[in-house]
Chain A
């Protein structure tokens, strides 16, 4: 008696591996009989034994696919029922978790006094790790729900209603946007001038937040850039929408502001070193700490806003919103 398993044995074995224990004996027996019947018919028609077996098994196809058909198990990870919900949730979570993680890590490391290269490296690593975690755990939960979730119609995800339509996305090129930008730029200009000549601290006239050494050269450069930003805002309004060239101009202006500002900040020439000791008069040590923390927050916030503004302009430029 031949002990090596035949092709048929191996096929049935492979198919039954994907089938739950209690159905195996019945399914295996039925499948074996069907295969044998098919082989017999082909042999009677003149086919050679081995060739008949091969043809029958090949026609049956992937044994795991056959088993999935028997057990009604889905051959996908997340099916159409839950896919959109999964996708929307993942996108939402990434938008929330990644910026928070990046900002938190950057802030913490800056306050701890780590070098910039180290901060950037760690933030990148944290972002990758956070991304993988968010996607993996969300996908795992949805895959489990897909497989073991109830078929109860009452437990199904709620049907889509018209209220779920996303709000029309603002083009960002209307009159209110331009006026808001111009007003904001005006306020920044006024604030810089006020800070220089009057000061923000009530009890200490002349104590400026920004380093006095910035006046006049850097400040004039700042005002020039602010003028250019105002021009961009007007151009966006005139063109009725953000275009790629305008978005590029915006990006360039952001770089022109942020890079020198961060360089000055790191050199200690952006913020007035005497500001915090002047405000917190009796405790120079804590004034130092506050100065360090505020500088870090200022720098990271500034860079973050510039990055967001640049990306936002490009996103608006690429949108084709039907008017």
Chain B
């Protein structure tokens, strides 16, 4: 049975590993316009485990950096802010995807413990 502190340090390492990949997932998913909570649900259903209080500020940050554009959609009763990936965002997504593929291949090539 792992003790609590070991669990916490494992949590931290897993979070570190996942942090960059959530950015990539957002940029790829937002090729089609999406909004805060909807994106959160989709990420979770696709296996990108993230929290609301991480995702919402992340979307704002990406918009500030120019990788996402946003506009308010007032079609439905509840107005929602929709984000979509900009051209710069697409370029970044391509770069990140390439890098991730390269890293995954490099990990596969690592010696395993025999």
Write the residues of chain A forming the contact surface with B, with a CB cutoff of 8 angstroms. Answer: 26-27, 29-31, 33-34, 36-38, 41, 59-61, 65-66, 69-70, 72
Contacts and interface: CB of A to CB of B under 8 A. Distances in A.
B53 A65 contact: yes
16 contacts: A30-B56, A30-B81, A33-B36, A33-B37, A33-B78, A33-B80, A34-B37, A34-B52, A37-B36, A37-B38, A41-B37, A59-B51, A60-B52, A60-B53, A69-B57, A70-B57
Contact of A31 (B38, B56, B78, B79): B56
A59 B51 CA distance: 8
By CB atoms of chain A within 10 A, which of B51, B54, B60, B79 has the most? B60
B51 A33 contact: no
A38 B51 CA distance: 12
Contacts of B78: 33, 36-37
Contact of A59 (B52, B72, B80, B81): B52
Interface in B30-80: 35-38, 41, 51-54, 56-57, 60-61, 64, 72, 78-80
Nearest to A39: B37
Nearest to B76: A33
A61 B57 CA distance: 13
Nearest to A65: B53
Contacts of B56: 30-31, 34, 66, 69-70
Q: Which label, helix, strand, loop or mixed, suits the secondary structure of the A interface?
A: helix
Nearest to B36: A34
Q: Which 10 A-B pairs have the closest CB atoms?
A: A69-B57, A37-B37, A34-B36, A30-B81, A34-B37, A61-B53, A33-B80, A70-B57, A60-B53, A66-B53
Interface in B78-110: 78-81
Contacts of A29: 72, 79, 81
Interface residues of B, number: 19
A70 B60 contact: yes
Contacts of A36: 78
A29 B72 CA distance: 10
Contacts of B35: 33-34
Contacts of A31: 56
Contacts of B60: 27, 70
Contacts of A69: 53-54, 56-57
Contacts of A70: 56-57, 60
B53 A41 contact: no
Given A38-B52, A41-B41, 8 more contacts: A33-B35, A33-B37, A33-B79, A33-B81, A61-B53, A66-B56, A69-B53, A72-B61
Contacts of A72: 61, 64
By CB atoms of chain B within 10 A, which of A27, A33, A36, A65 has the most? A33
Contacts of B80: 30, 33, 37
A97 B35 CA distance: 57
B39 to A, nearest CB: 10
Given A33-B80, A36-B78, A66 B57 contact: yes
A186 B36 CA distance: 83
By CB atoms of chain B within 10 A, which of A27, A70, A72 has the most? A70
A70 B53 CA distance: 9
A26 B81 CA distance: 9
Nearest to A61: B53
A37 B37 CA distance: 7
Contacts of B41: 41
A34 B38 CA distance: 9
